[in-house]
Amino acid sequence: MNWYKIANFQEDIDSADNLQACIDVLNQHNIEWQLVKFPNNSIIKLNAEGKVYIIPDPEYPQLEKPIDWIYSLSDMDLYNYAPISDDFWENIEEAVVYHGTIGENIETIQEEGLKTQNKTRGISNRSTGSAIFTSTDPYSTESYGDFIIEIDLDKMKQDGFTPSASKEEPIVEAEQRESIARRLGLENVDFKSELESEGIFDNTVIFYEDIPNKYLNIIRR
């Protein structure tokens, strides 16, 4: 299909106002297409001149480039197309996470455990509020002090102590965008790597409640 035919197709598709009308136009123009189903929506994926396009909304049909469309999705759209459980403990994979600190904090931590703090953080985390930042990678905590604290997630879960926790919000959104891209058949799409330059990493886990000392193992580096 050349661009002239694409223009004619777009003119015809503009008159469609539902899924079946879109499909009829696609068939009339002999365009290869498929319906990609999402939890709350279905998207038409088509191939024109060897390039992939989508029609996200059959009621208001417009040809979109998949990546551009995925980038444009709002938070609410992301949850409609790629709902991700907010329950960190339901999807937990790590047995231990780590928190770095300086020596002057150790005595208090030994007595009281880890307390959430509302410290100044980077731009991406300035609205996080009171929290404990941890990592699944012990080496990534080295810059925070001479002590590393191992936090036993397995024991916490066994005890039924499951404080509110999550990955950083931009990482969650990136995972949703990647999930949508894979659903549309786009391979090797990586939205998370773009966040690393902003200091946002996939290995960060944020806790929004205090963690008692019974779940902590304090180690000097």
pLDDT in tens, the chain (221 residues): 455 456 677 788 888 889 999 999 999 988 899 999 999 889 999 987 778 999 999 889 988 999 999 999 999 999 999 987 767 888 777 799 999 999 999 999 999 999 998 865 554 555 567 999 999 999 999 888 899 999 999 999 999 999 999 988 899 999 999 999 999 999 888 998 888 888 888 899 999 999 999 999 999 88
Structure tokens at 60: 């208001």
- Please say whether the beta carbons of 214 and 112 come within 8 A: no
- Please say whether the beta carbons of 87 and 167 come within 8 A: no
Whole-number pLDDT of residue 138? 93
Whole-number pLDDT of residue 5? 58
> What pTM does this model have?
0.81
70 within domain boundaries: no
Task: State how beta strands 51-55 and 132-135 pair.
Answer: unpaired
Which residue in the block uniquely carries the two structure tokens 């929506």?
41
Single-letter code of the amino acid located at 199: G
Whole-number pLDDT of residue 187? 85
- Please say whether the beta carbons of 82 and 158 come within 8 A: no
Residue 110 sits in a domain of what CATH number? 3.20.170.30
Give the list of residues 6+ apart from residue 153 with CB closer than 8 angstroms, or none: 92, 94, 95, 96, 97
131 and 216 share a domain? yes
Whole-number pLDDT of residue 213? 96
Helix (H) or strand (E) holding 133: strand 132-135
Whole-number pLDDT of residue 56? 94
pLDDT tens column, 94-133: 799 999 999 999 999 999 999 998 865 554 555 567 999 9
Q: Cα separation of 29 and 22, whole Å?
A: 11
Closest to 72 (Cα-Cα) out of 199, 180, 166:
180
Half-sphere exposure of 210 (CA within 13 A, CB side): 10
Structure tokens at 185: 């058949």
Structure tokens at 120: 């100044």
60 and 100 share a domain? no
25 and 125 share a domain? no
Structure tokens at 216: 């902590």
Q: Is 50 helix (H, G, I), strand (E, B) or coil?
A: coil
127 and 51 share a domain? no
Domain of residue 131: give its range: 96-220
59 and 111 share a domain? no
Whole-number pLDDT of residue 9? 78
Structure tokens at 119: 């410290």
143 and 210 share a domain? yes
Whole-number pLDDT of residue 123? 46
104 and 206 share a domain? yes
Residue 61 burial by Cβ neighbours in a 10 Å radius (0-12, 13-18, 19+):
buried
